Every structure is written in C-alpha cells, then in structure tokens.
Copies of this chain bind each other. A is one copy, B any other.
C-alpha cells in the first residue's frame, strides 16, 4: 500500500484492524481464549481466511497461538496485551453503531 502523508500511524492501524474480519476476530477473542473452530463457528468466515488473518495478527503480536498436543490437536488463540489494548477502540465503534445505525 502507498503511504499517506496525512497520518501514517492511523493509516497503518487501519490497514491492520480495518482489514476484513480482523475487528470481529478481536471482538470474539475479547471473550477469552478461543480455538480455531470456535472462531470459525462464531463468524461467517472460512477456514482459509481465518487462518490467513490469524497469521497476520500473530505476526503483529496481537494474538498468541498455543498448540496443545492432544488428540485431536487443540490450538488456542489468545489476545496479547497489545491485542487487549484494542478493546477501547472496538467498543467505541460498537457504541457508535448502536447509536447511529
């Protein structure tokens, strides 16, 4: 993506959390750690995209991936501090949506 002279920080943040499904995944993880299937069931997202998004969020250190070698394998996704710190922004958007839509 091109850079904006306007506000590179906002731009970068929007590129990340404005990406489709990202905010909803974070919203879902605010409930607590979740397994891959749980997130997939909570949202109308496919495994393909969920996998892609979780990788991006992991790379940005917004979520943490924990693998439990059970059978079948269990993988849990948890918000990091950085991830949890997005709660305010997500709640603001939620509140706005309640008041204006």
Contact = CB atoms under 8 A, between A and B. Distances in A.
Sort chain A's interface into a size bin. Answer: 35 or more
Given A18-B19, A23-B18, A43 B4 contact: yes
Contacts of A94: 7, 9-10, 13
Nearest to A91: B92
Contacts of A59: none
A49 B100 CA distance: 25
A9 B101 contact: yes
Contacts of A97: 9-10, 12-13
Interface stretch (A50-58, A68-76, A82-90): A82-90
23 contacts: A3-B44, A4-B44, A5-B42, A6-B28, A7-B24, A7-B27, A7-B94, A9-B94, A9-B97, A9-B98, A10-B23, A10-B24, A14-B18, A14-B23, A14-B24, A14-B93, A18-B19, A82-B100, A85-B99, A88-B92, A89-B92, A89-B93, A89-B96
